[in-house]
Amino acid sequence: MCSVFSRLSGDQLRVTWKANDLHQCVFRDWLLQWREWSAGEWMNASNCSEADTTTDPECFLDADFGATNARELRVKRLCEATEADSEFLYGAPIRWISPSLWEVWAGPSASSVAHVDVVLVPQAVEVALNSGTPTGQFSLCLNGHNVTITRADATDGWSEDLWIRCDLQPFADSATPPAAPLELTLARDPKAQNPIGCGRWSLPGKMGNYGPRGDQPSL
């Protein structure tokens, strides 16, 4: 399997994923589970399409807008012979604040560049911290629903638990400007389906309220 995708559909979260070659698996079912990030037991999703290998599977979950903790998802392929079951594939933890505002976990990084799928195509993005003192400067480049984070003031990565805050609305003019100057603004073709924008931002202060960090998920 490859990436797990989450998309909003009204007040429901539509979760889809792509299946690859079955190899030695005689397909039996898909198993999608969710939980509050690093807290509680994994729960099975029940509102799912009929198990099939010829169409893209999907499940629906309540979006749970305004929840304190982020939610994480994982999915695996079940086979008739359990030893052929796939490993769990994890999606990045996401906290839905409202239908137009959400945060995606980017985590620490040993590299100066990291890539995050932020689910939808936002009009504005910024770096947010879970807790602690903000350090460093980061460049965010947005291409559709993919964000590239680059450490702009050092050649190594970062140890902070970073989140990407996304908004379907452009940030208001009255919003607090970034401490680091905007390095580059790209003109956007109004007909373009995948807008691209880049800017340099200093890391803002604490934003959001999350539970304790657990194991780093696979992105």
Residue 160, judged by CB atoms within 10 A of its CB (0-12, 13-18, 19+), counts as buried
User: Is residue 217 one of the residues assigned to a domain?
Assistant: no
Phi-psi group of 145: left, alpha or beta (phi > 0 → left; psi -120 to 50 → alpha; rest → beta):
alpha
Judged by DSSP in three states, 84 sits in helix
Lowest pLDDT segment from 97-106, 113-122, 190-199, 203-212:
203-212
Q: Domain of 122? A: 100-202
Domain boundary among the residues 63, 95, 127 is at 95
Listed residues 72, 95, 118: the one ending a domain: 95
* Dist. CA 23–CA 20, nearest whole Å: 9
Is residue 212 in a domain? no
Residues 38 and 53 both lie in one domain: yes
As a whole number, the mean pLDDT across the chain is: 73
Q: What does residue 74 show for φ and ψ, rounded to 5 degrees?
A: -150, 150
Same domain for 74 and 122? no
Domains of the chain: total = 2
What is the C-alpha separation between 17 and 9, in angstroms, rounded? 16
Q: 195 with 153, same domain? A: yes
pLDDT value at residue 132: 58
87, 112: one domain: no
- C-alpha 201/C-alpha 138 separation (Å) is 5
Domain co-membership, 18 together with 69: yes
Q: Are strands 101-105 and 113-117 parallel, antiparallel or unpaired?
A: unpaired
In-domain check, residue 215: no
Kindly state whether residues 77 and 114 are assigned to the same domain: no
- Confidence label for 55 from pLDDT (cuts 50, 70 and 90): low
Q: Would you say residue 18 has pLDDT above 50?
A: yes
Residue 175 domain flag: yes
Between 110 and 181, the higher pLDDT residue:
110
77 belongs to a structural domain: yes
Q: Is residue 109 part of a domain?
A: yes
- Please check whether residues 42 and 62 belong to one and the same domain: yes
